[in-house]
Amino acid sequence: MSGFDAGWLDLREPADHRSRNEELARMLGRHFGRRGQVCVLDLGCGTGSNLRATAPLLGAEQHWTLVDHDQTLLDAAVVRLSAWASAAERRDGQLRLIKGGKQITVRLRRADLARDLEGVFEVRPNLVTASALFDLASADFIAAAAAEVVRSRAVFYTVLTYNGMQRWTPKHEADAAMASAFRSHQVSDKGFGEAAGPIAPALLVAAFDAAGYAVSEGDSAWRLEAGDEALIAGLVPGFVAAVRETSLVPEARVADWLKVHRTGALVGHTDTLAFAP
């Protein structure tokens, strides 16, 4: 899978956390909040942002396995999580954290999910989670991941899956063409084969529904406005680079679109929560 810069992940983390669907988070908390112990598998963990947002919803004793292909991000996760926790200790190859009355043991594993998905499920998780992952993955990978979750009879909770919605403020006449080109780029290979892109949420629902899981979805769109200037400014170059790679929008039109100073953006995401029958 293509790598991500830790600085970009830091920049987006506040928006990611506040955009998560509150109703699905409450449902997860009701299921796990009073459970004494939970084993969690976090796919494509980056710098550990998903743990930082999800751990408060879970019980007092948590055992997390964080999986990423990028060792630089795994190293950054140790730093970020240690700073986030009230207390942190490296022992026996694991990171032991205390935060908000929770005891959290973290094992970091470098693995290529596209090639060793079955191997990472050896931990037999109670909860499988991910953030901003499945729109980058292929339909085959989504089906395989769902099959592993079902085999483990685990709860599945993924957040911030891109669903194709994209709006900018102020508007520009090229917005529709730019957004269409961006969606075309989203289905290119990100390391898992042809990516599902905006249809990923629907594929997740179909896979778990077919397995008899009770599936819920919730809106988790980024709604960026005043106060989000740095993230908006960070979004624009990546958006434009993706559009240019497709060659679907004439360069003169792209250049004209870039002349507009963006003060707001909406980026559509979907959260998905599935419970075993």
Residue type, 263: T
Residue 36 lies in a domain: yes
Residue 170 lies in a domain: no
Task: Indicate if the pLDDT at residue 194 is higher than 60.
Answer: yes
Which CATH number characterizes residue 197's domain? 3.40.50.150
Residue 183 lies in a domain: no
Neighbours of 11 (CB within 10 A): 17
Query: What confidence tens digit (pLDDT) does each residue in 223-267 have?
Result: 999 999 999 999 999 999 999 999 999 999 999 999 999 999 999
Residue 1 pLDDT:
45
Task: Indicate if the pLDDT at residue 171 is higher than 50.
Answer: yes
Residue 33 pLDDT:
81
Residue 3 pLDDT:
53
Q: Are 143 and 169 in contact (CB under 8 A)?
A: no
Query: What confidence tens digit (pLDDT) does each residue in 29-64 have?
Result: 999 988 889 999 999 999 999 999 999 999 999 999
Residue 159 lies in a domain: yes
Say what the pTM is: 0.95
Query: In angstroms, what CA-CA distances link 193 with 17, 163, 179, 186, 204?
Result: 29, 18, 22, 12, 17
Task: Indicate if the pLDDT at residue 4 is higher than 90.
Answer: no
Residue 93 pLDDT:
85
Domain count for the chain: 1
Task: Indicate if the pLDDT at residue 210 is higher than 60.
Answer: yes
Residue 42 pLDDT:
98
Residue 253 lies in a domain: no
Query: In angstroms, what CA-CA distances link 46 with 76, 108, 123, 270?
Result: 8, 11, 19, 19
Residue 175 lies in a domain: no
Query: What confidence tens digit (pLDDT) does each residue in 102-148 have?
Result: 999 999 999 999 999 999 999 999 999 999 999 999 999 999 999 99
Residue range(s) defining the domain that contains residue 150:
6-164+190-223+268-275
Residue 53 pLDDT:
98
Query: What confidence tens digit (pLDDT) does each residue in 212-234 have?
Result: 999 999 999 999 999 999 999 99
Residue 260 lies in a domain: no
Task: Indicate if the pLDDT at residue 2 is higher than 80.
Answer: no
How many whole angstroms separate alpha carbon 102 and alpha carbon 5?
Answer: 29
Strands 222-224 and 214-219: unpaired
Residue 156 lies in a domain: yes
